[in-house]
A and B are shown apart, each in its own frame.
Chain A
Amino acid sequence: MTAPSDTSPLLRVSGLAKSVGSGRLLFAELSFALAPGELVAITGESGVGKSTLLNVIAGLDRPDRGEVIVETTELGALNEAALTRLRRDRIGFVFQAFHILPYLTLRQNVALPLALAGGERRTIEARAGALLGEVGLGDRGDSYGADLSGGELQRVAIARALVHDPALILADEPTGNLDPETAERVLALFARSVRGRDAAALIVTHSSAVAAVADRTLHLTCAGLRAA
């Protein structure tokens, strides 16, 4: 079920189980690992628990059983404050709906994780500017979200997810709001950026294009995970 790696994994999930409020079991005994530089796609039908799995891995939701280890940290042992710190320092997020704060400039949006960590203004703005340059929006740092297309917004979101050099990037339908051509360009950028940093990425998607870019694809069903 898992793809064993020679190097020590950045994410290890073992025996994970989660049911929803009504008692319906979403998934059980999920185990897999992500190695540095690896992109893994998770596919599955709607309602099977893909996003919940992502939330559990991010520490935004607690599993019923099992453990999640990011680098060497087991999430179950952390309190809320420590989980918050872990997300801030070691995890990056990319969402389907971009979630670019409309009242901040693009540079500020990208720099937000560093600003939340208490960085010095000039340094973090320079870093955000560099990341914007990396995603091809170096000259748009002072623009606002309203000025950008969907593809551009998602590139900003990718820059924000990478700005603090996270070990793990979690993406929930990152191309769900984009047309196929834009989605392809954004995915290529995403994959290049993740691999270039030796980070690991877990992408929840319905899209076959995303699965094609990934190193592995895992299919989530009510019976568990299987390699696609």
Chain B
Amino acid sequence: MDRLAGAGATLAFRWLLWGEWRRHPGRVVLGVLAIAVGVALGFAVHLINGSALASFDRAVRGVNGSADLQVRAASRLGMPDAAYPRAAVVGGVVDASPVVELPAFVRGERLTLLGLDVFRAGAVTPSLVGVPAEGQEAAVFAEDAVFLSRGTQAALGARAGEEIVLAANGRTARLRVAGAMPGVDDDRRLAAMDVAAAQLRFGRLGRLDRVDLKLAANADPGQVRAALTAALPSGATLSSADAAAESGDALSRAYRVNLSMLAMVALLTGGFLVYSAQELSVARRLRSFALLRTLGLPRRGIIAQVAVEGLALGMIGAVLGLAGGYGLALLALRLLGGDLGGGYFQAAAPVPVFAPGAALFFLALGITAALGGSILPARAAARAAPAVALKNAGDVIDPRSPAPWRLALLLFVGGAWAAFLPAIGGLPLFGYLSIALLLAGGIALMPWLARALLDPLSRRSIRVPAVDLAVRRLRGAPGQAAVALCGIVASTALMIAMATMVASFRGAVDDWLGQVLVADLYLRLEGGGSLDPAAQAQLAAAPGVARIDFGRQSPVLLDPARPPVTLIVRPISPAAAQGTLPLLTPVAPAPLGAIAVWVSEPAARLYDLEPGEPLALPLGGRGARFVVAAVWRDYARQHGSIVIDGADYDRLTGDLGRDEAAVLLRPDASRVAAREALLARLLPELRTTAAMAEPQQLRRLALTLFDRSFAVTYVLEAVAILVGLAGVAATVSAQTVARAREFGMLRHIGMGRRSVLLMLGNEGALLGLVGGVAGVLLGLVLARVLISVVNPQSFNWTMATLVPWGLLAGVVVALVAAAAGTAVLAGRRATAQDALLSVREDW
């Protein structure tokens, strides 16, 4: 084995590496920063996601206690309390605790009210049991005693012995604070009272929301589950804390994966930037490497040197990136919350927890990106014949050499193939693979594209020599254009793809809002309040009201491992469905005796439903049969929604209450007067929780929320673009400075400095134009994959493509301006040297 491959030559490597870095510190800093930014973004997004999920998990377990298994009501209507004795006697269950669980309001603060049997809960979920405060021991079993978690006490400022008014399920009750819930985390807002008292005071007589179960140590969970499933009444499902946490994970998984992918874009762009820098550095040092080969450094020594440079850049960048990522996660969690504005984890208040495994992963990723960006130029440097390289000054350009395209074609075919493959585990992994392959194909096609775009120009007779030379040089050296542009083309293409997807999504949501918000006024009761038929009649008779449709929305669990779907109760009939909902399919006739329901597009995709197919809904007992009448477009509920006619719902559940209304006013009615009249007709206790809005307000609010949830994606895109632009600036500048001798020669033969600068400006502009066109074309292709593959597979909804032409034009103009400006600035430096000195055979 050659001694050079061993440790003996490390001194030479150290000299060469340190010497190069000392000579070009700016390039080192740029390379390190590019990797650091990418790693920081990726690590920050990972930490934020992990912290949010951990917090959500804690929240779930905080409310559920530590039960081994739970029987849960599938809908807000609860389940018959017979579920409790049935579950308690199943073999393998050693104890069972009946629970009422209701969303509640106290002094305007949201919290969860738990009704517990203190003895049973003490055995099954002891962390949920309240402890009486000093002097309140006697009140423990009082019907109005309530225990508050520390988080609730802090939010309400309530002390032991104090009286509070608690609203839940449309009822209010005066309760006395009897003590705290020390087993519950500080950030959870819970209240606990006796289960029977909760049923009595909040209209849940004979109903339970869950039964917590403790299993025998030797029980087989599979057998217990099977026995429980057989014993459960209709409307009840089995669940565990793990399943609930899994459902929380599913809630935002696609959004989080998309954010992670965007962060990876920044890292990828950083990798390309390192590639550009190393490629240029290698081209500049070809003769140095040739000398080293002549002096006895083997080929792999050259590869090792360039690779070690990339490795060092990657290591420094990645370590800085990890530190930056942690800081960024801290800041983002404080400013935007655990879902970065996505709106998934509103109750969670996460703190970032350093994840050593993930840190190692991102460290490796950063180093790999930098190393990957160095290996190709290193191999090219090692392949160069030393004798030729020693003689040649600068780059060898042969305009007759063909621009490669075969690899690009292969990558495009692979990308197209991957786009047609299905999601894996609900994630569009093949969609992302398709994007990666298409992106790589687009970048591999850059030299061919540059030549194809410049060919027509080079055939024309251009009278201005500065422009003519610019066109001919770029056409003759398309590989150099590709090196300069690969980073920016990657980031621009992905940015345009994301922007097109977001613009299409926003446009689609805007259109959809126009279709669904057809009433003049919308009324909604918060905090579980409900309008009984009498209250509904009162509102319908209010002055100015032409028509009022009452509705109710409540979660329904179809699959314990998925988030619940939303059941929407409203007046609807197969004949009038087209005018009521934005239908995506024709209405299928319901078989005799079956109840028609309308499922949203996400529900249809998630649960594999087609019009005319039966659907199992936990409503109205086991005898009720439901059939999908049609699929409709819904952008508001990612996890699916099902519309059922109000009359069918009333008949099946006996629940005649409604908590929302869409009001059509008479043409001559005043909106203000109508609002006041409607509010005046509400019961006093409901007025405080009633919210009224006009469609414009709702539309504005929806679009504001939309923009907020995509704000982080804009930031990540902007960072990727900035990294890419920095790459263009650095590369164009380095390429220009390296051509000082060429400019000296041009000035010798009579080209003025201004003409040289004009030539460089034109070269830069053409380069920017080629990059812009490539980025836009590639971006539009990637947008198709995002819109037609990634989006439906991630979020389960489809949309029409809407191209943001203004943005596209802006990006191209910015690129042209940046490349031309940088080229001229660098050219000023390169031409500032004396023309005589520039042509000297020296380096």
B8 contact from A61, A98, A117, Cβ within 8 A? A117
B841 touches A102 (CB 8 A): no
Which A residues are CB-close (under 8 A) to B287? 99
Taken residue by residue from 107 to 136, chain A's Cβ proximity to chain B (1 for < 8 Å, 0 otherwise) reads as: 010001101111101001000000000000
Interface string of B387-399 (1 = CB under 8 A from A): 1001100000000
The answer to whether B292 touches A97, judged by C-beta atoms less than 8 angstroms apart, is no
B385 cross-chain contacts in A, Cβ below 8 A: 60
Task: Assess whether A104 is interfacial by the CB under 8 Å rule.
Answer: yes
Q: Is B291 an interface residue (CB 8 A)?
A: yes
- Tell yes or no: A188 within 8 A of B by CB: no
Q: How does the 8 Å CB contact mask read for A60-103 relative to B, with 1 for contact and 0 for none?
A: 11000000000000000000110011011100010111110111
Which residues of B (8-33) have their CB < 8 Å from a CB of A? 8-9, 11-12, 15-16, 19-20, 22-23
Interface secondary structure of B, over-half rule? helix
Q: Which residues of A contact B7 (CB under 8 A)?
A: 118
> Nearest chain A CB to B456's CB is how many angstroms away?
33
Contact call B295/A101, Cβ cutoff below 8 A? no
- B387 to chain A minimum Cβ distance, whole angstroms, is 4
- Check B843 for interface membership: any CB of A closer than 8 A: yes
**Bound complex: CA A27 to CA B408 (Å):** 44
Residue B2 is within 8 A (CB to CB) of chain A in the complex: yes
B15 proximity list for chain A (CB < 8 A): 104, 108, 112, 115
Contact partner, B9, options A61, A102, A116, Cβ 8 Å: A116
Q: How far is the CA of A105 from the CA of B11 in the complex (A)?
A: 14
Q: Tell me whether B615 is interfacial, beta carbon within 8 Å.
A: no
Q: Answer whether residue B162 sits at the interface, using C-beta atoms and an 8 A cutoff.
A: no
Residues of chain A lying within 8 A (CB to CB) of residue B387: 51-52, 55, 60-61
Residue in chain A with minimal CB distance to B298: A84
Asked if B297 is an interface residue, CB under 8 A from chain A, the answer is yes
Is there a chain B Cβ closer than 8 Å to A158's Cβ?
no
| Minimum CB–CB distance for A1 against chain B, Å | 25
B386 within 8 A of A: yes
Q: Are B19 and A116 in contact (CB under 8 A)?
A: no
Residues A80 and B298 in contact, CB atoms below 8 Å apart: yes
Q: Nearest Cβ distance between residue A183 and chain B, in whole angstroms?
A: 15
A167 → B minimal CB distance (Å): 14
* Chain A residues within 8 Å of B23, by CB: 102-103
Closest CB-CB distance, B537 to chain A, in whole Å? 89
Q: Contact at A51–B295, with CB atoms within 8 Å?
A: no
CB < 8 Å: which of A84, A101, A108, A119 contacts B2? A84
A51 touches B391 (CB 8 A): yes
A112 contacts which of B3, B4, B12, B20 (Cβ < 8 Å)? B12
Question: What is the CA–CA distance of A75 and B294 in the complex, to the nearest angstrom?
Answer: 15
Q: In the bound complex, how far is the Cα of B277 from the Cα of A61, in angstroms?
A: 31
Q: Does B293 contact A (CB under 8 A)?
A: yes
A223 CB to closest chain B CB, in angstroms? 24
Contact A108 B296 (CB under 8 A): no
Rounded to whole angstroms, the CA-CA distance of A81 and B293 in the bound complex is 11
**Smallest CB–CB gap between B839 and chain A, Å?**
13
Please pick, from B2, B22, B288, B296, the residue contacting A87 in the complex, using a CB distance under 8 A: B296
Q: Known contacts A89-B296, A108-B15; decide if A118 and B386 are in contact (CB<8 Å).
A: no
Question: What residue in chain A is nearest B291 (Cβ atoms)?
Answer: A99
- In the complex, the chain B residue whose C-beta lies closest to that of A161 is B295
* Minimal beta-carbon separation of A122 from chain B (angstroms): 10
In the bound complex, residues from chain B placing their C-beta under 8 Å from that of A95 are: 291, 390
The residue on B at minimum CB distance from A172 is: B390
Binary interface encoding of chain A residues 140-177 relative to chain B, with 1 for a CB under 8 A from any of its CBs, else 0: 00000000000000000000100000000000000001
| Contact across chains for A85 and B8 when beta carbons are under 8 A apart | no
Which chain A residues lie closer than 8 Å to B8 at the CB level? 117-119
- Whether B134 is near chain A, meaning CB under 8 Å from some CB there, is no
Q: Given A95-B390, A108-B19, A160-B295, 9 more contacts at CB 8 Å?
A: A52-B387, A60-B385, A61-B387, A98-B842, A99-B287, A99-B288, A103-B19, A103-B22, A177-B841
20 A-B contact pairs sorted by A residue (CB < 8 Å): A60-B294, A60-B386, A60-B387, A84-B298, A85-B296, A87-B296, A88-B295, A88-B296, A88-B297, A95-B291, A101-B291, A104-B15, A112-B295, A115-B12, A115-B15, A118-B4, A118-B7, A118-B11, A119-B8, A121-B11
Closest 8 CB pairs of A and B: A118-B8, A88-B296, A103-B19, A115-B12, A103-B23, A55-B387, A99-B291, A84-B298
